[in-house]
């Protein structure tokens, strides 16, 4: 059985719900059906098929970004045509994140099968059950991103505030002890240590963001620049 099946199904449902915010005419039944179709695509296709789709979508996303910039130069950001194209770009980006999640899970599954019958297989199976989250500059308050380097008491950490998540949502993330993959566009530029996501609290002890832990300063620096939407 493929790993992250439940997570993939939930992500697909969230993806469809977010894509339907501007399409109130869609029935709940239609939205649920779309979520099922997305989850089925991700969990029934072979790894090589998903990887080929991921590579093709990288090109499509780059082309969509160029088109969106062109429209922004011609239209007001409240113009319907611009908003529709912006929604399309967001949908493509969200699907690409889910695709990456499934690809990483399938890679681990293949390792488990290759190492079946050994203690390594058991370790990999445990690894496959661990969650990870995907973060981009769109998820965070870019002005809040700070890199705590070797000169400080804490080594190689990046802290940030979420831009839209509630304290309860952030707490749930922290309590699942995930690792995190940091994306620039649709490319992974850094990854935390295993379980390397801790909570960032305000003075009232409310969760407002995360503390990300990396193996070295350079990886933390790359993550911070990506989350600030800075050039490499």
For 6-64, write each residue's pLDDT tens digit. Answer: 344 444 444 445 554 444 445 667 767 777 777 777 778 888 888 888 888 888 888 88
Q: Please indicate whether residue 220 or residue 33 has the higher confidence score (pLDDT).
A: 220
Last residue of a domain, one of 90, 110, 129: 129
Q: Give the pLDDT of residue 222.
A: 93
Two tokens at 174? 């922290």
Is residue 177 situated within a structural domain? yes
Q: How far is CA 3 from CA 12, 36, 101, 131, 171, in A?
A: 15, 17, 10, 10, 23
Question: How many structural domains are present in the chain?
Answer: 2
Same domain, 65 and 123: yes
Q: Among residues of the chain, what percentage have pLDDT more than 70?
A: 74
Q: Could you count the other beta carbons within 10 Å of the beta carbon of residue 157?
A: 22
Give CA–CA dist 207/205, Å, rounded. Answer: 7
Last residue of a domain, one of 67, 95, 129: 129
Dihedral sign from CA coordinates of 96, 83, 166, 20: negative
Judging by beta carbons within 10 Å of its beta carbon (0-12, 13-18, 19+), is residue 45 exposed, middle or buried?
middle
Is residue 98 situated within a structural domain? yes
| pLDDT for residue 85 is more than 80 | yes
| pLDDT for residue 143 is more than 90 | yes
Same domain, 63 and 86: yes
Q: Give the pLDDT of residue 7.
A: 43
- The answer to whether the beta carbons of residues 160 and 200 sit under 8 Å apart is yes
Same domain, 37 and 81: yes
Q: Give the single-character DSSP code of 215.
A: S
Give CA–CA dist 150/142, Å, rounded. Answer: 22
Is residue 232 situated within a structural domain? no
Spell out the residues 6+ positions from residue 53 whose beta carbon is closer than 8 angstroms to its own.
45, 99
Q: If DSSP codes are grouped into helix, strand and coil, which group holds residue 135?
A: strand
What range defines the domain where residue 137 resides? 132-227
Give CA–CA dist 134/127, Å, rounded. Answer: 17
Give 161-174 pLDDT, tens digit per residue.
999 899 999 998 88
H/E run at residue 207: strand 207-213
Same domain, 114 and 190: no
Same domain, 166 and 109: no
Same domain, 93 and 184: no
| pLDDT for residue 193 is more than 50 | yes
| pLDDT for residue 181 is more than 70 | yes
Q: Among residues of the chain, what percentage have pLDDT more than 90?
A: 22
Give CA–CA dist 120/126, Å, rounded. Answer: 10
Same domain, 125 and 138: no
Give 93-126 pLDDT, tens digit per residue.
878 887 787 887 777 767 666 665 544 444 444 4
Same domain, 91 and 22: yes
Closest listed residue to residue 231, CA positions, set 193, 199, 184, 198: 184
Same domain, 163 and 121: no
Mean pLDDT on 58-80: 83
| pLDDT for residue 128 is more than 70 | no
Task: Tell how strand 132-135 and strand 179-184 pair up.
Answer: parallel
Last residue of a domain, one of 87, 102, 129: 129
Is residue 191 situated within a structural domain? yes
């Amino acid at each position: 059985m493929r790993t992250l099946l439940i997570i993939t199904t939930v992500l697909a449902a969230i993806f469809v719900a977010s894509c339907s915010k501007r399409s109130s005419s869609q029935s709940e039944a239609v939205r649920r059906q779309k979520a099922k179709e997305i989850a089925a695509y991700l969990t029934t296709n072979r790894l090589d098929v998903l990887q080929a789709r991921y590579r093709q979508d990288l090109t499509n996303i780059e082309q969509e970004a160029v088109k969106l910039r062109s429209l922004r130069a011609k239209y007001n950001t409240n113009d319907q045509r611009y908003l529709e194209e912006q929604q399309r770009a967001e949908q493509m980006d969200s699907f690409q994140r889910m695709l990456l999640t499934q690809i990483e899970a399938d890679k681990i599954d293949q390792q488990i099968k290759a190492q079946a019958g050994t203690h390594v297989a058991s370790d990999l199976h445990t690894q496959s059950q661990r969650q990870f989250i995907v973060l981009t500059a769109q998820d965070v308050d870019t002005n809040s991103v700070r890199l705590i380097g070797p000169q400080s008491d804490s080594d190689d950490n990046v802290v940030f505030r979420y831009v839209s998540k509630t304290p309860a949502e952030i707490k749930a993330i922290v309590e699942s002890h995930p690792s995190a993959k940091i994306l620039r566009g649709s490319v992974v530029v850094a990854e935390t240590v295993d379980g390397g996501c801790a909570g960032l609290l305000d003075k009232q002890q409310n969760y407002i963001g995360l503390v990300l832990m990396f193996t070295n300063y350079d990886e933390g620096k790359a993550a911070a620049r990506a989350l600030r939407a800075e050039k490499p």
